Amino acid sequence: MKKGNHLFYQIVCIVLGILLILPVIYAVNISFMPQDEILTTKLHFFPNVFGYLENYKIVFMHTRILRFMWNSLIMAGVSSVVRVIIASLAAFSFSFFEYKGKKILFALVVGSMIIPADVLVVQNYFTTAELGLINTYLGMMVVFFISGINIFVMRQNFMSYSISLKEAAQVDGCTNFKFYRKILMPSNIPVITTVFISSFVGTWNTYLWPLLVTNTDAMRTAQVAVTMLNNNEGSNYGVGAVMAAAVVILVPSVVVFLLFQRKIVGGVMAGAVKG
């Protein structure tokens, strides 16, 4: 790439990055502002004094946010791992084996991607209630265990994987599951990480389903804490408290992303097959 182009590319990326991060920074700043500082007609980007913690006190005193975050962590963590396992096994089957009805099955998986989740709510609730899973973590997670788009993404990734590697492994006496476990998965870390992060963030941000299948305050998720503080007729904790709650529940998503983002670009198949 020419030097000029490179510089232009960098500038565009930086500007885009700033545009994307600005609302988040503004939200963080608001969480440190008292009400009268937020409610001004002029743009007030930075708080006058950093260290105003009343909004955070409201969050921790008026909601059980830590308990809610723990619930969310269990729900998002377990369902993301299960999703990775199920999606990778399904994708393994779709990309490395030939059997009758494979194309139809794959078409069904892809077809499931166009069904909006909202239309399934009643039926899913019915099934979950019939299984006796209301008010349980399993009930909160079960609908997130399988995702058509994750299977699709992994299958596409596995399709580009060299079939000769599998054949070579088989010649050496490697079983199918051993190949999946010892060779395929470790060499596909980027896609696993991508699926895990998107699944974790997606499930972490879910509001309606966990609210539907739980009936006790102890089982609520982090997103509910924000709505509990949100402007409600008759009472008002203010925008600052809502932003403080949003900032607090943003932390785990950011941590997960920071922990795993290196793996997205880091794990390439370099050197897997020689010649």
Partner 1 sequence: MKKLLALLLCGIMVLGTAACGSAEGGKSNGETSQEADGTGSGQSSEGTQEVVFWHSFSGATEAALTSIINEYNEGRGKEKGIHVELVYQGYEGTDKVMLAYQTKDYENAPDINVGLTSTIPAVMDMGWTVNVEEFMNDGESEVTKDTFYEPLQQACTYEGQMVAVPFSNSIPLLYYNKDMLKEAGFEKAPETMDELTQYVEALTVKEGGETSRYGLNMQVKRYQLVEFCVSQKDVSFFGDNQGGREAPMTKIVAGEDGTLKAFLEKLQALLDTGGYKYVEDNINEEFAQGLSAMAIMSSSRMGTLDELMPGKYMTAYLPKVNAEDAGGAAVGGSCLNIFNRDNDERVKAAWDVVQYCVSPESQYTFSTASGYIPVNVGCEELDEMKAYYEKNPQYKVALDQMKDANPLSQEPLDLTYNEINGIITEIMLEFCQGNMSVDETVQKIVEQCNAALDEYHSVNG
Residue 224 makes contact with partner 1 by CB under 8 A? yes
Cβ closest to partner 1, residue 17 vs residue 186? 186
Residue 261 makes contact with partner 1 by CB under 8 A? no
Task: Let me know: does 212 contact 125? Beta carbons within 8 Å.
Answer: yes
The number of residues that bind partner 1 (CB under 8 A) is 47
Q: Which stretch binds partner 1 (CB under 8 A): 5-13, 15-23, 170-178, 226-234?
A: 226-234
CB of 138 to partner 1, least distance (A): 7
SS3 labels along the chain? CCHHHHHHHHHHHHHHHHHHHHHHHHHHHHCCCCHHHHCCCCCCCCCCCCCCCHHHHHHHHHCCHHHHHHHHHHHHHHHHHHHHHHHHHHHHHHHHCCCCCHHHHHHHHHHHCCCCHHHHHHHHHHHHHHCCCCCCHHHHHHHHCCCHHHHHHHHHHHHCCCHHHHHHHHHCCCCHHHHHHHHHCHHHHHHHHHHHHHHHHHHHCCCHHHHHHCCCHHHCCHHHHHHHHCCECCECCCHHHHHHHHHHHHHHHHHHHHHHHHHHHHCCCCCCCCC
Cβ closest to partner 1, residue 158 vs residue 237? 237
Determine which residue in the list 33, 219, 246, 248 makes contact with partner 1, applying CB under 8 A.
219
Determine which residue in the list 115, 208, 251, 268 makes contact with partner 1, applying CB under 8 A.
208
Residue 89 makes contact with partner 1 by CB under 8 A? no
Beta bridge partners of 235: 232
Residue 268 makes contact with partner 1 by CB under 8 A? no
Residue 27 makes contact with partner 1 by CB under 8 A? no
Cβ closest to partner 1, residue 106 vs residue 237? 237
Q: Which stretch binds partner 1 (CB under 8 A): 91-99, 136-144, 152-160, 168-176?
A: 136-144
CB of 193 to partner 1, least distance (A): 10
Determine which residue in the list 50, 236, 251, 255 makes contact with partner 1, applying CB under 8 A.
236
Residue 216 makes contact with partner 1 by CB under 8 A? yes
Task: Let me know: does 245 contact 63? Beta carbons within 8 Å.
Answer: yes
Q: What's the chain's length in residues?
A: 275
Q: How far is CA 145 from CA 78, 215, 252, in A?
A: 9, 22, 20
Residues between 111 and 130 with contacts to partner 1, criterion CB under 8 A:
121-122, 125-126, 129-130
Determine which residue in the list 27, 28, 138, 169 makes contact with partner 1, applying CB under 8 A.
138
Closest to 80 in 3D by CA, of 251, 253, 246, 217? 253
Residues between 35 and 74 with contacts to partner 1, criterion CB under 8 A:
35, 39-41, 62, 73-74
Cβ closest to partner 1, residue 105 vs residue 205? 205
Q: Name the site residues for partner 1 (rule: CB under 8 A).
A: 35, 39-41, 62, 73-74, 77-78, 81, 121-122, 125-126, 129-130, 134-138, 141, 186, 189, 208, 211-212, 215-220, 224, 227-238, 267
